[in-house]
Amino acid sequence: MKLETARLILRDAVMADLDNLHRLLSDQANMYYLDDVATRTLGESEANLRHAMLNDDGHYFCIERKEDRAYIGQVGYTITDVTPCGKIVHMGYFILPEQQGRGYTTEAVGRAVRYAFEEDGCVRITTGCYADNKASERVMIKSGFLREGLHKKAQYHDGIMKDRLSYAINKDDYAAR
- Where in the chain are the domains? 2-176
Per-residue pLDDT at 88: 98
Please spell the DSSP secondary structure of 22-35, one letter per residue. HHHHT-TTTTGGGT
Task: Return the CATH number of the domain spanning residue range 2-176.
Answer: 3.40.630.30
- For residue 102, what is the enclosing H or E element? none
78-128 pLDDT, tens per residue? 999 999 999 999 999 999 999 999 999 999 999 999 999 999 999 999 999
Per-residue pLDDT at 177: 82
Q: 53 Cβ partners below 8 Å, 6+ apart?
A: 12, 13, 14, 15
For residue 26, pLDDT beyond 90: yes
pLDDT band at 35 (very low <50, low <70, confident <90, very high): confident
Per-residue pLDDT at 159: 95
The rounded distance, in Å, linking the Cα atoms of 146 and 43 is: 37
Cα angle, residue 79 at apex, residues 77 and 81 outer, rounded to 5°: 145
Percent of the chain with pLDDT over 90: 90
The answer to whether 118 and 91 have CB atoms below 8 angstroms apart is: no
Percent of the chain with pLDDT over 70: 100
Q: Average per-residue pLDDT in the chain?
A: 95
Per-residue pLDDT at 176: 86
Q: What's the CA dihedral at 121, 173, 136, 43 to 10 degrees?
A: -10
This prediction has a pTM of 0.93
Q: Which long-range contacts (CB under 8 A, 24 or more apart) does 34-43 make?
A: 34/92, 34/94, 35/157, 35/158, 37/92, 37/94, 42/18
Query: DSSP state, 52?
Result: H
The rounded distance, in Å, linking the Cα atoms of 31 and 142 is: 21
Q: 23 Cβ partners below 8 Å, 6+ apart?
A: 96
Cα angle, residue 42 at apex, residues 36 and 47 outer, rounded to 5°: 60
For residue 18, pLDDT beyond 90: yes
pLDDT band at 56 (very low <50, low <70, confident <90, very high): confident
